[in-house]
Amino acid sequence: MPYVNVQITRGATRAQKSELVADITKSLVRILGKKPEHTHIVIQEIDESDWGYAGMLTDDWKAQGGD
């Protein structure tokens, strides 16, 4: 039973999350032969102030011109 945890910063739409779940499930079926009905995918959205990148909090990094 595959369990996939996707962690992203906040901001994805419901449609984008739905597409991610569908694409990840299709990949597990195609590549590993897993059954879709046994596949669990959890999307965790994390505030940019709770995510570190390049030695900084992501919101600070973006404020300084990071993409």
Q: Could you tell me the two tokens for 40?
A: 């669990």
Q: What is the mean pLDDT of each run of 10 residues along the chain (67 residues)?
A: 96 98 98 97 96 92 87
Q: Which residues are catalytic?
A: 2
Q: How far is CA 13 from CA 43, 53, 58, 65, in A?
A: 12, 23, 20, 24
Please count the structural domains in the chain: 1
What is the pLDDT at residue 6?
98
* CATH number, domain containing residue 22: 3.30.429.10
Give residue 58's domain range: 3-63
Q: What's CA 28's distance to the chain center, in Å? A: 15
3-state secondary structure labels for all residues of 9-48: ECCCCHHHHHHHHHHHHHHHHHHHCCCHHHCEEEEEEECH
